[in-house]
Structure 1
């Protein structure tokens, strides 16, 4: 049993208690109610109490409640969280990585932990972590701590996804035609891009491999974590690269001003206003014009262009608006005239944070050596990969098909034609807009329009046929005078009778929720009503399995009735696509099929009058109390008859919505073809 005195101030929430005990969160809530000896909260709120980790573990052992052995790393993590703020945790995680690789922490800006100066509590935790790593291994130990830290602070830190980093490295490898000796990332974050570059060029044998990996970030915590990541990665080449990662504001105080890199990879911060516009007005880096205050991204573009060695290649991620905003057109024109900007690649939404936006990748090339593969300096290559989602090679965030995207981009860079890319003369883009958005320059293919149009009409006919069938059945129904009104029973009474079970939705692990097309092994995530055409949310199978096991997620089963409880978005439906993961504004009703028909239940609960009676009407965020909703008392046979009618109603509603969506698509497509003169004369 752990010694309670080791960490008397460490506090954990109910979810962590459930994870330690290997049970669901509901079981822990039951223990609190039934056992007077259960430890009292030491903090938090009534809704989210915090408990002493030492007291919890002592109670679990004393009562024999621990079902599975607690992973040592899982046991240590609450002590990292107990350190308090984000920086203290991050610096200690970085120290773990550096010490595991025999590299002591070097002085850096930030708290004492950044320079390797730890207080007694942090030193003890570091010592125990290093001892544990002797059995777990450096990579697994550091990787676990870093992943937990990133998950805890997911809203504060945007990490470049691994597949996007690999794509950017592939692009640089194709475009750069010489030996890569120096790689730079001037906004390195947690080091994903430098790690990818190290894997690509850092393990070369002999003397022609990568010599330097250089990074910089204005956040000392992220700079320290990047150093640790690169140290843990290690390199097997005969001459491993020198690693230099510094903490400083790149635009205001470039720590690598004297470096000219063969490759620069960067995912810079976007939409910044306080980036140094006034104080950097005469900076020598603005060779193509001073960036407007609202165009911080173009400051980063020019910084990267200035950091390239002759023939060097820069690959960077930018918001799509940078390609078209009027304020930046003069700088874009200058980059085109100088032949520095060679390629603009549009990625599909979901490729990287923010997930709902299709980001762009810009490829820069400094003059001085060789010929550009695929396009001369008088031309620019535009690539639109927005359709590359949910393919057979799909992997990673948003269901993006990274295999197909990489293949399409590489072919375009090598000059191979194909759908989704075009080489445009620079002179054609030097108009008043200088709009570099790929979708606005890639011509539509007539064959593709013909296929798409026929598919849309096929979908329209399918919806119309289903709608006619449902309407034929429903239109034959006539209201009848039922005489005496059937007695009603509330959902609360049904729950007490064991006819159904209510399972409330829970907070979602935002770091693991993906957006976009859902793969076959993904479970959809429901947070309320999803607008047609909006990005679908889903969780990987691993996260769903773990979350259901620990009780941290509410996962539906076949024929569960899902209720959206916010009054303004009230809705009820039978989950025919289970398993689904429910967010906090939803609940699932799991019925006993020998007593209740789920379709009958859903149809009765969904009645608008029923929802009005059960609503709280307290504010704009009023909720419907699902336990106050009522249904008629009918026999099971009668329930099934009504349930079948409700199935027809839902089919009618679904097909009506589908017909409207496809009809709108057809109107847009026909209007587009008409404006291009691609429709035959009447």
Structure 2
């Protein structure tokens, strides 16, 4: 495939043709002349943009490709997924050049291609293939749409493509965090700024950011300059290597990574930031809370996203209690499930205030069960600050009532004596009913059949035939760095990679379509097919890469699951020997039918796990409401 033959995936085609992704899938099945994939995997194929455009024209479905869309696809074509952020940052540098000096760009644009490549004052990142045609295409879009709008559009597509890896704060959540913090015109810090979403929304007069991922930090810096912010963004680990030591700002807003065990517990044990107690090893979020508090002036606010479990986990109760006693924790606002990209549960916004010297500690704290009503979150905080009547779904709770053995700050346990206290129960009930329907619909349709002896093969035989490649993650791997790593727990929970490591020889890179299985079965983990490329394989995991034209990865994952099924059901453990694992000899078409059934069974299992968590919350809300009189039987 030539470099200028840009590729697109199913989502791109849907956007080009202004249809849903299901329509694209239907076209592939119905039309024999639909273009064949030229790259990608069986589960995530890539097609030639030129061939797709020709096909859409032949079938009268063509919608003219916008220049911005074409530039985006060209950026994707010049590098791999791991370096795509560098390509986006390079495009940002070009657009900044036009933004700062339009007349200077017009002079450069008149040069021939070789001279342009030599004279353009933007460094080309390693591994990114840039030519004069790409530079001119990016510039043309910048001139036509405006450099700011052009770069925002490119960033939006980058975030959409890498949403699981970037974990960008949704704009609506970022907006309410900024409003609660009162960031407009203030000096604002975000110590885990990602690509700068919170800092841009803040409207700060001076914005400071730090981000572990160097590429994301570069993007954040470019975005801040485009939006006219006086900002500094530094790459690095905020907890281990604070880029702004001693800096005190008006407001800190932050959406830190959740559930980071390798956050620096050992080397930071005696750190002076832990005014409210040493954060337990498994409570990285409480380290972030205190890091943020250390950077605000007396009377300054911190608005930080927290996983819902941080309000009640037993190891963190001492720090939570000290935050309450010291008057630092002022509000806990529960949002809807999935509001934080790092968690599928319902996260909380913690609002903290650094006490003034000799200030009398407050006697109460605000609790809000906002769910999807973000206006309630902001309105309740404003009413609380102004001493006005609180809206429904919120209340103040005496701090002394929270300082028991558990120091449980879960809002659903406290926001119950309101005019409409059953709202929380009703909302959970609606979500549970919707989840039940989804659980049932995820089951595959399976028909009974007579047991038959199918010819079998083994993965070892397939490996010798070149159909599969088997790799294993390193036994030991450093927990420091900015390279995403899939852990055994990620595999068990079916979530995106949460680990981090540094690039080193011997690492196994995951590609979309790879099958990942636990080394030891019976741990609760199930083999899964990866949907995205880019992460590396963590310890205690196996990777099996298939030739998708000869072996369907979902079929393989199902066979591996069936092979370890008895140990999973009995709770026993055994080491998986993938080469001895047997699987039926089926045609690729039959494999895909079975693979789809296996995939849906795994989706059913994931849904029932979420159902168990939801049902526990529903039952607890029902008992609490019936006990305190805010619910009654009909």
Asked if these proteins are the same fold (TM beyond 0.5), I'd say yes
Give the equivalent residue in structure 1 for 2:389. 417
How far off its partner does 1:676 sit?
3.9
Quote the residue 2:214 is aligned against.
220
Partner residue in 1 for 2:8: 12
Aligned to 2:146: 137
Residue 51 of structure 1, CA deviation: 4.0
Q: CA deviation at 1:126?
A: 3.6
Counterparts in 2 of 1:404 and 1:248: CA distance versus 1, 3 Å: same
Report the CA distance between 1:369 and its aligned residue.
7.2
What is the rounded CA distance, in whole Å, between the counterparts of 1:250 and 1:452 in structure 2? 39
Alpha-carbon distance in 1 for matches of 2:44, 2:336? 38
Distance change in 2, residues 1:230/1:618 (3 Å)? closer
State the Cα distance separating 1:619 from its structure 2 match: 6.3
Structure 1 position 18, deviation (Å): 6.8
Alpha carbons 1:272, 1:296 under 8 Å: kept: yes
Please give the per-residue CA displacement for 1:221-243, whole angstroms capped at 9, x wherever unaligned: 21111112212212xxxxxx531
Is 1:566–2:475 an aligned residue pair? no
Does residue 153 of the first structure (1) align with residue 165 of the second (2)?
no
Contact 1:20 1:66 in 2 (8 A): no
Aligned residues: 450
Q: State the alpha-carbon separation in 2 of the partners of residues 442 and 565 from structure 1.
A: 37
Aligned partners of 2:434 and 2:53: how far apart in 1? 48
**Equivalent in 38, 43, 68 of residue 39 of structure 2:** 43
**Partners in 1 of 2:221 and 2:620 — Cα distance?**
55
Unmatched 5+ stretches in structure 2? 101-120, 449-589, 600-613
Question: How large is the Cα RMSD of the aligned pairs?
Answer: 4.5
CA distance in 1, matches of 2:443, 2:415: 45
TM-score, normalising length: structure 2: 0.60
Structure 2 partner of 1:429? 402
| In the alignment, structure 1 residue 190 sits paired with structure 2 residue 214 | no
Aligned partners of 2:369 and 2:411 also within 8 Å: no
Counterpart for residue 129 of structure 2: 121
* Matches of 2:411 and 2:90, distance apart in 1: 44
- Gap change, CA 1:115 and 1:332, over 3 Å in 2: farther
8 Å Cα contact 1:281-1:290 kept in structure 2: yes
* Other-structure match for 2:328: 340
What does residue 379 of structure 1 align with?
363
Pair 1:89-2:122 in alignment: no
CA distance in 2 between counterparts of 1:180 and 1:667 reads 43
TM-score with structure 1 setting the length: 0.57
Instruction: For residue 385 of structure 1, give the secondary structure of its aligned residue in structure 2.
Output: strand
- Measure how far apart 1:264 and its partner are: 0.5
Cα shift readout 1:515-551 (whole Å, capped 9, x = no counterpart)? 9999xxxxxxxxxxx96253999xxxxxxxxxxxxxx
Partner deviation per Cα, 1:400-428 (whole Å, 9 max, x = no partner) = 23223322232123222334333334333
Instruction: Provide the C-alpha distance between the structure 2 equivalents of 1:299 and 1:81, rounded to a whole number of angstroms.
Output: 37
Partner Cα distance (1:228, 1:137) in 2: 15
Contact 1:182 1:261 in 2 (8 A): yes
Distance 1:665 1:321, change over 3 A: closer
CA distance in 1, matches of 2:329, 2:619: 37
User: Residues of 1 paired with 2:186 and 2:157: CA distance?
Assistant: 34
| Change in CA separation of 1:29 and 1:300 when aligned onto 2, cut-off 3 Å | closer
Judge conservation of contact 1:114–1:224 (CA < 8 Å) in 2.
Answer: no
Cα deviation, residue 121, structure 1: 2.9
Instruction: Describe the shift of the 1:141–1:302 C-alpha distance in structure 2 as closer, same or farther (beyond 3 A).
Output: same
The equivalences for 1:298-313 within 5 A come to 298-313=286-301
CA contact (8 A) 1:12 1:78 kept: yes
1:656-671, aligned counterparts within 5 Å? 669=622
User: CA separation in 2, counterparts of 1:157 and 1:314?
Assistant: 22
Aligned partners of 1:181, 1:16: CA distance in 2, in Å? 40
CA distance in 2, matches of 1:130, 1:618: 47
The answer to whether the 8 A contact 1:21-1:65 is kept is: no
In structure 2, do the counterparts of structure 1 residues 616 and 76 end up closer, same or farther at CA, with 3 Å as the change threshold? closer
Asked if structure 2 preserves the Cα contact closer than 8 Å seen for 1:339 and 1:378, the reply is yes
**Distance in 1 between the 2:129 and 2:185 partners?**
44
8 Å contact 2:417–2:630 — kept in the other structure?
Answer: no
Which residue of 164, 167, 173 maps to 2:173? 164
Contact 1:616 1:623 in 2 (8 A): no
Q: Distance in 1 between matches of 2:59 and 2:7?
A: 21
Greater CA radius of gyration, 1 or 2?
1
Deviates more, 1:301-310 or 1:95-104: 95-104
Cα distance change of structure 1 residues 69 and 316 upon mapping to structure 2, 3 Å threshold: same
Tell me the residue number matched to 1:364.
352
350-359 vs 403-412, which deviates more? Answer: 350-359
- Counterparts in 2 of 1:39 and 1:569: CA distance versus 1, 3 Å: closer
Tell me, yes or no, if the aligned pair for 1:183 and 1:265 is still in contact at 8 Å: yes
Counterpart secondary structure, 2:72 = helix
Q: Deviations for 1:165-216, whole angstroms, at most 9, x for unmatched residues?
A: 221122122xx9xx96421000001212111212xxx4xxxxxxx2x21001
Which SS does the other structure have where 1:336 is aligned? helix
